[in-house]
Amino acid sequence: MLIRCEVGLVSEPWNIYVNRRGGIRILDVFEKIYESFSIVLNDDEKKKLDPRKMKYYDRAFRRRCAITPGLTLLEERKGMRRVDLLEGQTVFMGLELSASRDCWLLRLGTSPTFS
């Protein structure tokens, strides 16, 4: 199963592959999505970042590190992860079959604010 994410990213979508003998479970899908966004950015991905958005990406990175109790410095040393580039869209909104029917499109949104 191929899942493509085109949200708030570098210049090209990220592909997430989900495989399991005996059939794919929803747990497998969520685990692969989580693993994919936990990946530390490599040098090629860093080079493709939009310099105009670096301030925002850095703010998201620092916020994520700060909310990791007791591990803030460790997370900062590891570096920016893909999740930091999602422009705040970190809520799973579902999967949609692509128009070409060759993959699933990951739909993400922002946390609702309650008054």
pLDDT digits (tens, 9 = 90+) for 3-14: 999 876 656 788
| C-alpha span between 48 and 4 (Å, rounded) | 18
Distance CA 30, CA 3 (A): 11
Cβ distance 35 to 27 under 8 Å? no
Nearest to 89 by CA among 111, 63, 56, 66: 111
**In 10 A of CB 42, how many CB atoms?**
9
What pLDDT, on a 0 to 100 scale, did the predictor assign at position 35? 96
Residues of the chain above pLDDT 90, percent: 58
Predicted TM-score (pTM) of this structure: 0.84
Beta-bridged to residue 55, according to DSSP, are none
Q: Are 29 and 3 in contact (CB under 8 A)?
A: yes
Handedness of CA 26, 31, 34, 37 (dihedral sign): negative
